[in-house]
Amino acid sequence: MIGIKKEIKMGREAILKSIKKNKPELLPLPDINEEAFDESIDLIETFKSNIAIVGGTVREVDKETIDAEIKEQYPNKTNIISTTNKSILGTVQVDKSTDPHNLENIDLAIIEGDLGVSENGAIWVTANSSIIRVLPFITNDLVIILEKEKIHLHMLEAYDQIAQRDRNFGVFISGPSKTADIEQCLVVGAHGAMSLTVLLV
Partner 1 sequence: MSHANRATEFNKDESKVNWHDKALWYVREKRDKSAHNVQGWEYLRQLGSGIKANVLSNLDEYLVQFESNAKSNGVQVHWASNAQEHNEIVSSILDRHNAKKVVKSKSMLTEECHLNPYLEAKGIEVVDTDLGERIVQLAEEPPSHIVLPAIHKTKEEVDELFQEHLGTKPSGGNPEYLVGEARKHLRDKFMKADAAITGVNFAVADTGGVVVCTNEGNADMGVHLSKVHIACMGIEKIIPKEKHLGVFLRLLARSATGQPITTYSSHFNKAEEGKEMHIVIVDNGRTEQLSREDFRASLHCIRCGACMNTCPIYRRSGGHSYDYTIPGPIGSILSPGKDLKKHSSLPFASTLCGSCSNVCPVKINIHEQLYKWRQVIVQEEKQPILKKSIMKTAGVVLSKPKLYKLAGKSARFALKYAPKFMIYNKLNAWGKARDLPEVKNDNFDDWYKKRNKNG
Of residues 64 through 103, those in contact with partner 1 by CB under 8 A are: 96, 100-101
By CB under 8 A, which span of 60-68, 74-82, 133-141, 143-151 interacts with partner 1? 133-141
Q: Does residue 2 interact with partner 1 by CB under 8 A? A: no
6 binds partner 1 (CB under 8 A): no
Task: Tell me how far, at minimum, the Cβ of 75 lies from partner 1, in Å.
Answer: 22
CB of 6 to partner 1, least distance (A): 12
Among 6, 36, 75, 164, binds partner 1 (CB under 8 A): 36
Instruction: Determine, following the binding rule CB under 8 A, whether residue 111 of this chain makes contact with partner 1.
Output: no
Q: Cβ distance 145 to 92 under 8 Å?
A: no
- Three-state DSSP at 92 gives coil
CB of 62 to partner 1, least distance (A): 29
**Among 29, 76, 93, 164, which residue sits at the site for partner 1 (rule: CB under 8 A)?**
29
Query: Binder to partner 1 among 119, 141, 195, 197 (CB under 8 A)?
Result: 119
From 19, 64, 75, 76, residue interacting with partner 1 (rule: CB under 8 A): 19
**Is 93:123 a contact under the CB 8 Å cutoff?**
no
Rounded to whole angstroms, how far apart are CA atoms 147 and 137? 22
Q: State how far the Cα of 150 lies from the Cα of 128, in Å rounded to an integer.
A: 17
Single-letter amino acid code for the residue at 167:
R
Among 192, 195, 198, 200, binds partner 1 (CB under 8 A): 192
Q: How many Å apart are CA 196 and CA 141, to the nearest integer?
A: 6
Selected binder of partner 1 within 73, 98, 147, 172 (CB under 8 A): 172
- DSSP of 29-81, one letter per residue? PPPP-GGGG-----HHHHHHHHHHHTT-EEEE--GGGHHHHHHHHSTT--SEE
